Amino acid sequence: MTSAEKDRQAVLQYVQEKARKPVTAAELADACGISASQMSKFLDMLQAMERQGLLVKTRAGRYGIPARMNLAVGTVQGNPRGFAFLIPDDEEQEDLFLSPVHTGGAMHGDRVVARIHSCPRAGEKGEAEVIRILERANRRLVGTFECEQGANYVVPDESRIWHDILIPKSKSAGAKHKEKVVAELTRWPQMRRGPEGKVVERIGCFGEPGVDVAVVIKKYGLAEKFPSRVLADAAGVPDTAVADKGRKDLRELLTVTIDGADARDFDDAISVARLPEGWRLWVHIADVSHYVPEGSAIDQEAARRGTSVYLVDRVLPMLPERLSNGICSLQPGEDRLAFSVRMDFTVAGERREYEFCRSVIRSDARLTYQQVTHLLEGKQTELEKQAILPMLREAAGLAEALHSHRLQSGAVEFDFSEEKVELDQDGRPVRIYPAVRTIADQIIEEMMIICNQTVAEHIFWAKVPSLYRVHEEPSGSDWEDLRSFLAHFGYRLSGVRRIHPRHIQAVLNWARGRREEELVNTVVLRTMQKARYAPECIGHFGLATRFYTHFTAPIRRYPDLIVHRILSELVKQGTMSKQRISFWESRLPAIALTCSEAELTASMAERESVEIKKVQYMKERLGEVFTGLIAMVVPFGFFVRLENTVEGLVHVSSLHDDYYHFQEARLALVGERTGRQFQNGEAVRVQVTRASLEDRQIDFILV
């Protein structure tokens, strides 16, 4: 722990446990033993703690803890109707209502300090008032430029930002009515005045090729181009791999990559052989750390991006193409530097011995998931694949053993279909369909999971700092909500006190084949916490394992690159110096946080880019009739999921044969006169009546 972290903890401990009232900076310094020469840095630290909401500074210049001052620190969650909620940083605190007059000029996403007016009661939200804005979230916004009655303004795409941004004519950058733009705020909203801004970028109009996804890129602040210094460093990377001292030569090992047909960067390759008592698996991962030195321009940019982003029509890579699709990619017939993990397994899928080595490999074939599936099903018999086929059969056998062993350990396995969108050369969607999971997908998934587990366990027992992929169990309140939800269908979770993944899997198994299966899967998934990165090894609930990390995709994920560096130190030296331990301990918490945030941002952008294409696809099919299943019934109607994975709303107001009311006990809409019911899983025929790109909403009516 650094001296700054010790001072920080000392301050928090003093104001929480010893101070009976808000205290001055001088009193805090005296209590923490801060000398006069250290005072400047100490004051900077107090300011930083104030910005983070850990301390609150009163008008009298005294510091206190928010909770002891009837204050709450958190993030504003806006509502299109002008009010908002405060989501407290303290997960034990309930959300608080912010009326329009009590938002204090805060906007959706801002971090604020709020004074609590009333505490939550049963079935009601407590109320609060924003008194200080700690951090603004929306300095730039994507929206639609509109000209109306001589006034120019930008309507934000984010509906939870209820303010329109006034744009002076001199700051419109020539934008046209209904054009998509990026606006930068020059004045924040106040009690009686809305925000003001200027147009800093014109994106184009919806309907023009590429504009829809460009809007998503701008909205989430994704990086499209690499800085010149990064490209200059990448240009200096050699085109051919040269094995350095200490690498194991595995080029004679039969090795293949298995990826999607459109993949261009190949992180991982496998080699599988049968042993008398089981299997031997080699997982070879591109040694990106060899080409991306710690602290280099490429490394800094990769850390800033955190991950590659896979949008519906393009990839925004973490690394420059010269590395990601070139020297780092495990291309067939080319010598490549790798980090290899050898693992031996029993016929029951239990791992026995393992070893790590820095290696040089040569992939014998670049296979697609479809090719592997066809080979194993006997649908493809090219002569050049015959030598590979026996290995693929062993790989399939090992994958099945690993999968069975994982499920026996209690791992949770959802059965959702991934959606695929095919685009024409202009980016217009021509086909949307659910992807079918194949044995080839299972081979790679199981082998990467066990490799990640093995690496995490090895580093943990080496007692050195590292990044882990963690997944906590559902919170108590979420578990109770799930218990109540399942009771509607007669499924009882009574008696379950300590939650185990087996309980989750038992619910999924029970729902399989039932009409409400998809709804149950969706609700269970929402009950689960989000996986994240952390410097502590606290386990992965969903995989039912104590040890897990991300190691197998360093071309597209920054945490994997960090883990490679840490494992490389252990492989080369057998240990880690105290200096390096201190270095990693100080850096890993921030890396874990930024990479978790980058992953979440990428996930939202990827999902939104697909949703846009779905709306475009259905917009071209207004009036057409489709068959689907009711996916979720709500008080205002029900959502129907079509066979092509598109979802739309049948609003209750469009049901003209009766007055329908939502019955929560049955999760159904029931007709007042006819008794007709609409329930989850029911097959219906619907007609497309509306597909709005503005609000991403698709509306159906029953046929």
Question: Which H helix or E strand runs over 611?
Answer: helix 578-619
- Are the C-beta atoms of 439 and 399 separated by less than 8 Å? yes
CATH topology of domain 140-205: OB fold (Dihydrolipoamide Acetyltransferase, E2P) (2.40.50)
CA-closest candidate to residue 163, choices 220, 82, 75, 76: 82
The whole-number pLDDT of residue 92 equals 78
CA–CA dist 526, 372 (Å, integer): 33
- Are the C-beta atoms of 455 and 341 separated by less than 8 Å? yes
**Cα distances (angstroms) measured from residue 393 to each of 142, 390, 440, 608:** 51, 5, 11, 38
| Model pLDDT for residues 307-318, shown as the tens digit of each residue | 999 999 999 999
Give the start-to-end residue ranges of the domains of the chain.
Answer: 3-66, 70-135, 140-205, 228-469+539-608, 473-528, 621-702
Confidence bin at 540 (pLDDT 50/70/90): very high
CATH code reported for the domain at 3-66? 1.10.10.10
Confidence bin at 382 (pLDDT 50/70/90): low
Q: Which residues of 407-418 are buried (b: 16+ CB within 10 A; e: fewer)?
A: eeebbbeeeeee
Domain 621-702, classified CATH 2.60.120.380, yes or no:
no
The whole-number pLDDT of residue 679 equals 92
User: 484: phi > 0 → left, psi -120 to 50 → alpha, else beta; which?
Assistant: alpha
Sheet with 660-663, strands from edge to edge, namely: 660-663, 668-671, 677-678
The dihedral over CA atoms of 148, 152, 158, 161, expressed in degrees to the nearest 10, equals -100
Span of 262-266, 293-297, 494-498 with lowest mean pLDDT: 494-498
- Are the C-beta atoms of 144 and 178 separated by less than 8 Å? yes
CA-closest candidate to residue 469, choices 547, 412, 405, 406: 547
Domain 70-135, classified CATH 3.60.40.10, yes or no:
no
User: What's the whole-model pTM score?
Assistant: 0.89
* Burial class of residue 301 (count of CB atoms within 10 Å of its CB; 0-12, 13-18, 19+): buried
Residue 557 DSSP one-character state: B
DSSP string across 227-286: -HHHHHHHHTS-SS----TT-EE-TTS--EEEE-TT-----EEEEEEEETTEEEEEEEEE
Packing angle between helix 501-511 and helix 517-527, nearest 10 degrees? 160
| Residue spans of alpha helices (H) in 361-475 | 369-376, 389-408, 439-462
Structure tokens at 387: 């030598």
| Model pLDDT for residues 452-492, shown as the tens digit of each residue | 999 999 999 999 999 999 999 998 888 888 888 888 888 88
Within this chain, domains 70-135 and 621-702 share the same CATH topology: yes
The one-letter amino acid at 656: H
Question: Which H helix or E strand runs over 70?
Answer: none
Confidence bin at 582 (pLDDT 50/70/90): very high
CA–CA dist 76, 171 (Å, integer): 29
The helices-and-strands tally (H runs, E runs) of the chain is 16, 33
Pairing between β-strand 256-259 and β-strand 365-368 as defined by DSSP bridges: parallel
